[in-house]
Structure 1
Amino acid sequence: MAFFASGPEADESRIADLATEWRAIVAREQETRVTQVAAWETQLAELRAEQEALLRDGHWVAGPDDLLSILGQSRQELYHSALLAWLLDPQGRHGFGSGFLEALLRRCTPDPPTAELNRARPALEVSKGKARADVVVSGPGLYLVIENKVDAREQPQQCDQLYESFGPEPGALFVFLSPSGRAPVTATGDAREAFKTMSYADIAVMLRDALACAPGKGATAHGREVASNYLATLEREFQ
Structure 2
Amino acid sequence: MIGDEQRLQELAGEWKSVRQSQIVQWESSLRALTRETTDIKATGRWRTGRRTLLEVLGVHHLELRLVACLAWVMRPEGHHGLGDQVVRGMFETLGVPFDPAARVDVTVEETRYTASGVRTRADMVIRVGGFCVLIEAKVNAGQHGDQCARLAKLWADEAATLVYLTEDDRGHDAPGGWARLTWRDIAELMAPLPASASAGARDFWETLGGGGFAMPDDRTRFYLRHWRQIDEWSALRHEAVKEVEAAVELGLEGLNPAILAEADQGWFTEGAFSTYELTRPSWQLGALQAAIALQWHGPGLLTDGDTTWPYVGVRVSSAKSLSRDPLARNLTEKLEKHAADVGWTHSQIARGWLWWRFVKPTGSDEDLASLTENCRSALEDGWRALSGPIDSVFETAEKLGDPDTA
Q: Same fold (TM over 0.5)?
A: yes
- What's 1:135 paired with? 124
Q: How far apart, in 1, do the equivalents of 2:25 and 2:131 lie?
A: 73
TM normalised by structure 1 equals: 0.71
Is the 1:201–1:234 contact (alpha carbons within 8 Å) kept by the matching residues of 2? yes
RMSD of aligned Cα (Å) = 2.9
TM (norm. structure 2) is 0.44
- Runs of 5+ unmatched residues, structure 1: 1-14, 185-191
After TM superposition, the structure 1 = structure 2 runs for residues 16-165 of structure 1, keeping only pairs within 5 Å, are 16-48=2-34, 50-52=36-38, 54-55=40-41, 58-109=44-95, 111-117=96-102, 119-129=103-113, 130-165=119-154
What residue in structure 1 maps to residue 226 of structure 2? none
Instruction: Select between 195-204 and 19-28 the one with higher mean Cα deviation.
Output: 19-28
**Is the counterpart of residue 207 in structure 1 residue 190 in structure 2?**
yes
Aligned pairs (5 A) from 1:217-228: 219=196, 223=198, 225-228=199-202
Q: In the alignment, which residue of structure 2 is the partner of 1:174?
A: 162
Higher RCO (CA 8 Å, separation ≥ 6 residues): 1
Contact 2:133 2:161 in 1 (8 A): yes
Preserved contact between residue 133 and residue 145 of structure 1 (Cα < 8 Å): yes
Counterpart-to-counterpart distance in 2, 1:172 and 1:36: 70
Rounded to whole Å, the distance in 2 between the matches of 1:144 and 1:235 is 24
Report if aligned partners of 1:182, 1:199 keep a CA contact under 8 Å in 2: no
- Cα offset, 1:141, TM superposition: 1.3
SS at match of 1:107: helix
Unaligned stretches of 5+ residues in structure 2: 114-118, 215-406
> Offset at 1:133?
0.7
Q: Deviations over 1:120-175 (max 9, x none)?
A: 12221111223211012234413322111122232222122212222223x63322
Compared CA separation, residues 63 and 115, structure 1 to 2 (3 A)? closer
Counterpart residue type for residue 121 of structure 1: D
| Corresponding residue pairs, total | 204
1:12 corresponds to: none
Q: Max radius of gyration: which structure?
A: 1
Percent identical among aligned pairs is 27
Instruction: Quote the residue 1:233 is aligned against.
Output: 207
1:20–1:157 CA distance, 2 compared to 1 (3 A): closer
| Contact 1:174/1:196 (<8 A) preserved | yes
Equivalent-residue separation in structure 1 for 2:206 and 2:97 (angstroms):
28
